[in-house]
């Protein structure tokens, strides 16, 4: 008899646990300020503030940041200087639980957040959010060069982004976790033993996922985004456009690349796409030529510096960055004389990310004006 009662009690507890509905966590990006959250099933609310150091990534929680009774809570969510600031908001009721994770940002200035994914190191991501933020705000990704300094790159985009209603995202692929060109600007698609990695580990995929998170977090309408890269970042961009065929890129701007992976299945990777682990076709190459890519080159980027790759294969593309850009463009045109790619000169600019950012902004301005 006792055994039967015990089993009945266990079943009863199990039934109660099943009737408590735990909804999926709602993740959102918001501007600092006062926000109201509502849920008809809620009886009470609690808020925890999490501060993550933007340099070290260390986290600190402030329990009982705020609380309320009833169907809603109105709470001020400030951004703490020098810290990624996240608010964990919990709504509870009878057999009900709902969680919100809210990252907050100050408009009109650059801050950063840590992008976390299951298979990769955390990526510190710089972001500028314009004061004009709304559902129609566009996104541009800005890819840094060999110096791995996205905090400097993004400065060249702040004023333009504010004027043109853009969020600027500049991920930091640090040289500790993303060593060398193989792990950063070649996309981290192969291991050191030339085995194909899982797609989720590609630096290309990480960037695409960061854009998706920001777009979803702010509730933006436009699925597409623009992307710009200078030097090693330019290399990242032109390879991204070949390998990430499903990425909804509207405009890609690759500036002053040191060398190129050519659209050629007979040239060994990484100078072409001949590799035992690849199965690309001529159709893949043709589709590549139909994407909206602009090769930008500074007319004074002609020096053979120590940072310029000077292998036999790279020199076959030209003796400097200026000539190599034309070599790549001609290869695209050979594949498709009606290509949508364009080669654009930036007069009196050398190997300068700031100068090439200004040139890219002119191009984007023309495109945006023609597509209003």
Task: Estimate the crossing angle of helix 282-289 against helix 232-243, to 10 degrees.
Answer: 120
Residues 6 or more apart in contact with residue 193 via CB below 8 angstroms:
none
- Residue where one domain finishes, among candidates 105, 125, 149: 105
Same domain, 125 and 56: no
Per-residue pLDDT of the chain in tens (372 residues, 90 and over written 9): 444 444 444 444 444 444 556 678 999 999 999 999 999 999 999 999 999 999 999 999 999 999 999 999 999 999 999 999 999 999 999 999 999 999 999 999 999 999 999 999 999 999 999 999 999 999 999 999 999 999 999 999 999 999 999 999 999 999 999 999 999 999 999 999 999 999 999 999 999 999 999 999 999 999 999 999 999 999 999 999 999 999 999 999 999 999 999 999 999 999 999 999 999 999 999 999 999 999 999 999 999 999 999 999 999 999 999 999 999 999 999 999 999 999 999 999 999 999 999 999 999 999 999 986
The secondary element (H helix, E strand) that includes residue 213 is: helix 203-218
User: How far is 97 from 12, CA to CA, in rounded Å?
Assistant: 20
Q: Among 88, 105, 122, which residue terminates a domain?
A: 105
Domain span at 80:
21-105
Same-domain pairing of 87 and 101 = yes
User: Same structural domain for residues 92 and 113?
Assistant: no
Pairing state between β 72-77 and 225-230: unpaired
Output the CA angle 320-251-266, nearest 5 degrees: 50
Find the length of the chain. 372
Q: Are residues 237 and 182 in the same domain?
A: yes
- Nearest CA to 208 out of 179, 178, 239, 230 is that of 239
Residues 129, 91 share a domain: no
| DSSP letter string, 77-139 | EPPPTTEEEEEEEEEEETTEEEEEEEEEE-TTEEEEEEE--TTS--EEEEEEE-TT--TT-EE
| Distance between CA atoms of residues 140 and 166, nearest Å | 7
Q: Is the overall model pTM greater than 0.75, yes or no?
A: yes
Q: Which of 197, 203, 152 is nearest to 180 (CA)?
A: 203
Q: 33-92: per-residue pLDDT in tens?
A: 999 999 999 999 999 999 999 999 999 999 999 999 999 999 999 999 999 999 999 999
- Does any domain span residue 3? no
Other Cβ atoms closer than 10 A to 369: 8
218, with CB counted inside 10 A (0-12, 13-18, 19+), is buried
**Chain center to CA of 87:** 22
CA separation for the pair 236, 308 (Å, rounded): 15
With the C-alpha atoms ordered 160, 163, 165, 167, is the resulting torsion angle positive or negative? positive
Query: 136 and 281: one domain?
Result: yes
Q: Are residues 251 and 308 in the same domain?
A: yes
Query: Is 127 found in the same domain as 80?
Result: no
Same domain, 196 and 270: yes
The total number of structural domains that make up the chain = 2
Does 120 lie in the same domain as 77? Answer: no
**Contacts of residue 8, Cβ cutoff 8 Å, sequence gap at least 6:** none
Whether residues 92 and 114 share a domain: the answer is: no
Identify the domain boundary among 83, 105, 127: 105
């Amino acid at each position: 008899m006792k055994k039967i009662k015990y089993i009945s009690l266990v079943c009863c507890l199990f039934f109660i646990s099943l009737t408590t509905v735990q909804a999926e966590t709602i993740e959102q990006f918001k501007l600092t300020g006062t926000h109201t959250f509502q849920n008809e099933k809620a009886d009470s609310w609690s808020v925890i503030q999490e501060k993550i150091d933007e340099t070290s990534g260390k986290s600190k929680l402030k329990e009982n940041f705020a609380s309320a009774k009833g169907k809603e809570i109105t709470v001020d969510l400030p951004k703490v200087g020098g810290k990624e600031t996240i608010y964990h908001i919990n709504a509870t009721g009878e057999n009900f639980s709902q969680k919100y994770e809210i990252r907050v940002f100050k408009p009109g200035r650059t801050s950063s957040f840590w992008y976390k994914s299951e298979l990769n190191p955390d990526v510190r991501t710089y972001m500028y959010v314009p004061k004009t933020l709304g559902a129609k705000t566009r996104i541009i990704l800005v890819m840094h060069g060999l110096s791995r300094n996205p905090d400097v790159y993004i400065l060249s985009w702040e004023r333009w982004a504010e004027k043109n209603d853009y969020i600027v995202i500049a991920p930091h692929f640090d040289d500790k976790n993303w060593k060398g060109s193989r792990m950063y600007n070649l996309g981290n698609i192969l291991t050191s033993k030339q085995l194909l990695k899982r797609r989720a580990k590609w630096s290309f995929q990480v960037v695409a996922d960061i854009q998706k998170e920001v777009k979803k977090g702010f509730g933006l309408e436009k699925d597409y985004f623009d992307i710009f890269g200078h030097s090693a970042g330019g290399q990242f961009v032109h390879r991204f456009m070949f390998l990430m065929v499903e990425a909804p890129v509207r405009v890609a701007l690759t500036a002053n690349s040191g060398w190129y992976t050519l659209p050629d299945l007979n040239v060994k990777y990484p100078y072409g796409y001949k590799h035992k682990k690849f199965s690309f076709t001529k159709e893949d190459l043709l589709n590549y030529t139909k994407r909206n890519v602009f090769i930008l080159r500074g007319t004074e980027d002609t020096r053979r510096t120590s940072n310029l790759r000077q292998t036999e294969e790279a020199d076959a593309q030209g003796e400097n960055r200026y000539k190599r850009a034309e070599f790549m463009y001609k290869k695209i045109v050979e594949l498709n004389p009606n290509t949508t790619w364009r080669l654009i000169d930036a007069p009196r600019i050398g190997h300068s990310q700031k100068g090439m950012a200004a040139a890219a902004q002119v191009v984007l301005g023309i495109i945006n004006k023609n597509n209003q």
